[in-house]
């Protein structure tokens, strides 16, 4: 029996699917208004859905009864400055509470989903690895700050005796029936995307992330963090691949950062919550290259290529 937070979310639902296929019984947290993905509804006998408050110590304590692991996938992703308090509650406070409850259960293993946003930068020309030190900058988003602080809660738990492992996925690619997350890349290209930015980042398939998390748990690897990244690609390369698969014209006009920042200022006059903001623009031009050497040395794994991930997204395959 294992406990999964964020089980109705993109990554959490895939983690549940792979756990079920491996024969695990699952207790899964969800919000009262959350929609359960259709592919999990087929496994009703394997999942006990719990409408609990993850901030409540005693509700979580009851949920962890008879569980041997917690897969903590629940998180809030937002780059809107108005969401600072919500991000702290969802990302830091919940992790703090889960760690405290798990410390009361010495045999429980805690698998925490962090982010590359919580990993530091490397020296120019070098790849970012697990040893890169995260530094709080004026340009750091509240999302990055809260993911870093949540990770610190897990490290605090590890120092107090918690059996925990941390994964830092890069941008996760995969099919989502709700057409959210990385599916937006597909929609942008279908809608005739003409412009591209000069940034570069890492990408990883959702199936690989779920499999890595379960394998790290089963091999009882603790006290470590692992960057999960299949390939580093520029956004231009990503959209070129999508265009190729869709047989559409790839974006061909490089838009300058200054122009996009000007557009952001105009947009926010009319809509302060527009998803295009100074943080998302900075990310679109930032060039980051991530190393996957540590995870490849730790467990047997062949990462899915970005091209194959895109094919699966277009053919609506779960794996």
Spatial separation of the C-alpha atoms in residues 205 and 208, rounded to whole Å: 5
What residues form DSSP beta bridges with 45?
Answer: none
228 contacts 216 by C-beta, under 8 angstroms: no
Reported as half-sphere exposure (CB side, CA atoms, 13 A), residue 253 has a value of 8
Residue 318 pLDDT exceeds 80: no
Pair type for strands 69-72 and 109-113: parallel
Q: What is the pLDDT of residue 275?
A: 85
What residues form DSSP beta bridges with 101?
Answer: none
As a whole number, mean pLDDT of residues 10-39 equals 93
Distances 74 to 6, 70, 157 between C-alpha atoms, Å: 4, 11, 18
Domain 2-173+204-229+289-302 listed as CATH 2.60.210.10:
no
Residue 34 pLDDT exceeds 90: no
Residue 319 pLDDT exceeds 70: no
Beta-carbon count within 10 A of 248 CB: 15
First CA to last CA distance, the chain: 23
Measured over the CA atoms of residue 97, residue 103, residue 108 and residue 109, the dihedral's sign is positive
Q: What is the pLDDT of residue 129?
A: 97
**pLDDT per residue over 115-128, tens digit each?**
999 999 988 889 99
Token pair 């040395």 in the structure block, residue: 297
Distances 216 to 128, 207, 209, 220, 228 between C-alpha atoms, Å: 21, 14, 11, 6, 12
**pLDDT per residue over 229-249, tens digit each?**
999 999 999 999 999 999 999
Q: What is the pLDDT of residue 268?
A: 87
Residue 308 pLDDT exceeds 70: yes
For the ranges 17-21, 175-179, 253-257, which has the lowest average pLDDT?
A: 175-179
- Contacts of residue 206, Cβ cutoff 8 Å, sequence gap at least 6: 10, 11, 14, 172, 173, 174
Task: Please report, rounded to a whole number, the percentage of residues in the chain having pLDDT higher than 90.
Answer: 87
**pLDDT per residue over 66-107, tens digit each?**
999 999 999 999 999 999 999 999 999 999 999 999 999 989
As a whole number, mean pLDDT of residues 155-167 equals 98
Task: Please report, rounded to a whole number, the percentage of residues in the chain having pLDDT higher than 70.
Answer: 99
Distances 256 to 22, 39, 199, 232 between C-alpha atoms, Å: 48, 42, 11, 22
Count of residues making up the chain? 319
| Mean of all residue pLDDT scores within the chain | 95
Spatial separation of the C-alpha atoms in residues 1 and 163, rounded to whole Å: 17
Would you place residue 274 in the very low, low, confident or very high pLDDT band (cuts 50, 70, 90)? Answer: confident
- Contacts of residue 152, Cβ cutoff 8 Å, sequence gap at least 6: none
């Amino acid at each position: 029996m294992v406990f999964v937070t964020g089980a109705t979310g993109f990554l959490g639902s895939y983690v549940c699917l792979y756990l079920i296929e491996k024969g695990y019984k699952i207790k899964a947290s969800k919000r009262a208004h959350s929609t359960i993905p259709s592919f999990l509804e087929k496994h009703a006998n394997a999942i006990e859905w719990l409408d609990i408050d993850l901030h409540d110590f005693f509700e979580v304590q009851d949920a962890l009864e008879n569980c041997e692991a917690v897969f903590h996938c629940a998180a809030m992703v937002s780059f809107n400055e108005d969401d600072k308090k919500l991000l702290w509650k969802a990302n830091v406070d919940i992790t703090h509470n889960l760690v405290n409850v798990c410390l009361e259960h010495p045999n429980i293993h805690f698998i925490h989903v962090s982010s590359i946003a919580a990993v530091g930068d490397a020296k120019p020309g070098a790849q970012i690895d697990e040893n890169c030190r995260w530094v709080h900058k004026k340009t750091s988003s509240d999302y990055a700050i809260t993911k870093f602080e949540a990770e610190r809660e897990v490290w605090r738990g590890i120092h107090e005796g918690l059996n925990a492992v941390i994964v830092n996925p890069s941008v996760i690619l995969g099919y989502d029936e709700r057409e959210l997350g990385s599916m937006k890349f597909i929609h942008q290209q279908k809608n005739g995307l003409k412009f591209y930015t000069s940034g570069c980042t890492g990408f990883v398939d959702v199936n690989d992330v779920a499999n890595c998390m379960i394998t790290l748990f089963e091999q009882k690897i603790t006290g470590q963090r692992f960057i999960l990244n299949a390939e580093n690609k520029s956004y231009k390369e990503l959209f070129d691949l999508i265009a190729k698969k869709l047989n559409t014209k790839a974006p061909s006009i490089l838009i300058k950062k200054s122009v996009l920042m000007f557009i952001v200022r105009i947009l926010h006059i009319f809509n302060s919550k527009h998803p295009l903001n100074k943080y998302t623009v900075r990310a679109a031009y930032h060039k980051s290259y991530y190393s996957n050497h540590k995870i490849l040395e730790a467990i047997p794994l062949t990462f899915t290529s970005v091209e194959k991930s895109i094919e699966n997204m277009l053919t609506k395959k779960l794996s």
